[in-house]
Amino acid sequence: MSKWKKLPTLNTSGYQGCLNCPSKPSRAHMRTKIAVGFGDAYISRDKAIVWRENMKTGWASVPRLSRFERMAKADPHHDWRLVLNAPLSFVEYQRQGPGLWVLVKTGQGFA
């Protein structure tokens, strides 16, 4: 039995982080790069950060969500999250099953 609480998936129809931003998908794709450039992007397990974007890292070496899906699949009884906090957009995804990372929080970012 899992110790973490499964949060409801947000309906993103009509949501935009800003007027020029596209709507956010309700599921994160495994090819998603864990990066925002200016801001904060990270993967957490039970609120402890497993990996955080480093602006000194080049785009080619930024990991994709699939890397952390493999980690989460091997250790599924924890609350895994993907957080992308950019100047005009904030999204948080929670892993809720194999290959299923669903949108649970949104916002307008930090600017």
Give the per-residue pLDDT at 7.
Answer: 93
Average pLDDT, the chain: 88
Domain extent, residue 65, equals 40-107
Helix (H, G, I), strand (E, B) or coil at 73: helix
Give domain status of residue 92, yes or no.
Answer: yes
Give domain status of residue 62, yes or no.
Answer: yes
Count of domains in the chain? Answer: 1
Residue 24 vs residue 38, higher pLDDT: 38
Give domain status of residue 95, yes or no.
Answer: yes
Tens of pLDDT, residue by residue over 25-79, are: 889 999 999 999 889 999 999 999 999 998 777 778 899 999 999 999 999 999 9
Give domain status of residue 6, yes or no.
Answer: no
Write the DSSP symbol of residue 59. Answer: G
Give domain status of residue 5, yes or no.
Answer: no
Give domain status of residue 21, yes or no.
Answer: no
Give domain status of residue 46, yes or no.
Answer: yes
Task: Report yes or no on whether pTM surpasses 0.85.
Answer: yes
DSSP string covering 14-55: T--SSTTSPPPPSB--TT-BS--SSSEEEEEETTEEEEE--T
Give domain status of residue 60, yes or no.
Answer: yes
